[in-house]
Amino acid sequence: MNEIRRETRHEIRLRVNGVTYELRVPARRLLSDALRHDLGLTGTHVGCEHGVCGSCTILADGEPVRACLLLAVAATAHEITTVEGLAGPDGEPNAVQRAFAECHGLQCGFCTPGFLTTVTAGLRRDPCPTRDAAREMIAGNLCRCTGYQNIVRAVERAAELESAQEPAR
Amino acid sequence: MKPAPFDYVRPDRLADAVAALAAPESKVMAGGQSLVPLLSMRLASPSLVVDINGLPGLDAITVTSGGVQVGALARHTAVLESPEVARVQPLVPMALAHVAHATVRNRGTTVGSLVHADSAAEMPVVLSLLGGSIEVSGPAGRRTIAASELFVGPLESSVAPDEIALSAFFPALPPGAGVAFDEIARRHGDYALVGAAALVEGERIRVGYLSVSDVPTVVDLTGVPAADRAEAALEQLDPTGDIHATAAYRRTLVRVLTDRVVAAATANAQGGTP
């Protein structure tokens, strides 16, 4: 325990979902753990913890990255968006969240936050993906229910929903 | 699966970063996409992590008629999506498309992947095949390390512990030359069971292999009849078996990929799409 007490803690500011948080963390705190344990934002799920499964995917400056492969102390320069930040200001689910519900893309739900963040950013880059592009978009995320068919459908449905609401955005 | 304690600094001047690296057991972190898993699994336990993300100017990608220079903080995605890079050296984006998944490429750096020196990774083979180099800075100043001197063992590069890689240089594709890249992985984006990159320049044919040996290996197949190329390559390679593929299966993949990438690079040289 002595060794742990001696560990230097860093005062950092994290911008998450538009809110600035001040926290004290050791350098080894992974961003995924800082979000969950220090900030209580437990929507970001932790699966493999070495960058393979994609469950912890968050957006840094709008682009998907693995929260388990980023140190919290190294994330201070970025605007972080977690699954909690995807919904609209009124709490209305975004098009991707609605599409996952409609198409039963959630299954057990554990991998869902990573898929939702990945697809939300992916559709910004490619608003009208082909089926192959939809598969490629989610290729870095693992679903242990192997529910990929419904998830691919949900990506396509989300693209439809977003294009339908385009004029309002 | 949590890292052991370490000290952390994020200098904003190169001199400070080099000075920090004088500490024993220190380690440079750029994108961290290979380092953080090693930390979490405690396969690496540096006493100090020197985060170079605060150093200015290292994210530049400079393209000239001579080649592509990639700064140490240029993310894979930025290199992959640069039309200038694709024009001057198309093998770079061809191979980068196979580097992990988009999410990891958004953070991971091409130079970091080179100095990590994983023989299962794509970019070390590309740098070796093209005869590229990296520039590093250390207490004794700057020096250039040729790819042929860079990869010395499994996950071991000749960059000294107190040196920081600043950039990598990929020479341009000569006029009339062609390149191709292909790999077989269990899932696109995973580490390849075997991968191969080819450079065809007139009569000259060279092929680089990943996930076959401890270091990226380039084989010269110039003058070898087409039907004998794969066996000629295998004479210089010694594929080993592991949990993912037997040695015999890797030999099969070397045969398949050698013919495939040489054909594609030849077509690419003749102006076709690889």
How does pLDDT run across B223-254, given as a tens digit for each residue?
A: 999 999 999 999 999 899 999 999 999 999 99
Contacts of B10 in chain A (CB under 8 A): 73-74
Please tell me the predicted confidence (pLDDT) of residue B271: 78
Helices A112-125 and A148-165, packing angle to 10 deg: 40
Residues in chain A with CB shorter than 8 Å from the CB of B102 are 64, 122, 136-137, 140
- Dump pLDDT digits (tens) for B8-44: 999 999 999 999 999 999 999 999 999 999 999 999 9
Over range A129-133, report the average pLDDT. 96
pLDDT the model gives residue B190: 83
Same domain, yes or no, for B76 and B147? yes
Judgement on whether residues A59 and A80 belong to the same structural domain of the protein: yes
Our count of domains for chain B comes to 3
Which domain range does residue B105 map to? 61-171
The reply to whether B59 touches chain A by the CB within 8 Å rule is no
Torsions phi, psi of B78, nearest 5? -65, -40
Does pLDDT of A146 surpass 50?
Answer: yes
Residues B152 and B136 in one domain: yes
Residue A169 confidence (pLDDT) above 50: no
User: Is this model's pTM higher than 0.90 or not?
Assistant: yes
R_g (Cα) of chain A, nearest Å: 17
Q: Cβ(A21)–Cβ(A40) under 8 Å?
A: no
Q: Report the pLDDT value the prediction gives residue B270, as an integer from 0 to 100.
A: 84
| Residue A1, domain member (yes or no) | no
Instruction: Check residue B151 and give its pLDDT.
Output: 97
Answer whether A27 touches B (CB < 8 Å).
Answer: yes
Task: Please compute the mean of the pLDDT values over residues B82-98 and round it to a whole number.
Answer: 97
Same domain membership, residue B195 and residue B150? no
Query: Residue B187 has what pLDDT?
Result: 79
Is the Cβ–Cβ distance between A134 and A128 less than 8 Å?
Answer: no
**Contact assessment for residue B115 and residue B165, using Cβ atoms and an 8 Å cutoff:** yes
Structural domain includes residue A4: no
CA A85, chain centre distance (Å): 9
- B274 pLDDT higher than 80: no
pLDDT averaged over chain B? 96
- Do both A14 and A60 map to the same domain? yes
Per-residue confidence (pLDDT) for residue B211, from 0 to 100 = 94
Q: How far is B99 from chain A (nearest CA, A)?
A: 11
User: Could you tell me the two tokens for B175?
Assistant: 């006029």
- Closest to A64 (Cβ–Cβ): which among B8, B51, B106? B106
Q: Are residues B167 and B193 in the same domain?
A: no
Stretch among A129-133, A142-146, B81-85, B180-184 having the lowest mean pLDDT: A142-146
For A75, the domain range is 9-85
pLDDT band for position A2 (50/70/90)?
low
Nearest chain B residue to A4 by CA: give it: B5
Is the predicted pLDDT of residue B222 greater than 50, yes or no?
A: yes
> How many domains does chain A contain in total?
2
C-alpha torsion angle, residues B248, B250, B254, B255 (rounded to 10): 30
Residues of A in contact with B40 (CB under 8 A): 30, 49-50, 68
In a domain, B2, yes or no: no
Of B4, B40, B102, the CB nearest to A50: B40
Average pLDDT over every residue of A148-157: 96
Taking 70 as the threshold, does the pLDDT of residue A166 lie above it?
no
The reply to whether residue B103 touches residue A66, judged by beta carbons under 8 angstroms, is: yes
Chain B residues with CB under 8 Å of A33 CB are 2
Domain boundary among the residues A85, A116, A151 is at: A85
Are residues B35 and B67 located together in one domain of the fold?
no
Of A2-11, A41-50, B170-179, B192-201, least confident by mean pLDDT is A2-11
Same domain? For A101 and A160 the reply is yes
pLDDT value at position A6?
Answer: 76
Q: Where are the beta strands (DSSP E) in chain B?
A: 7-9, 26-29, 48-51, 61-64, 67-71, 133-138, 141-146, 151-153, 156-157, 164-171, 178-185, 192-201, 204-210, 217-220
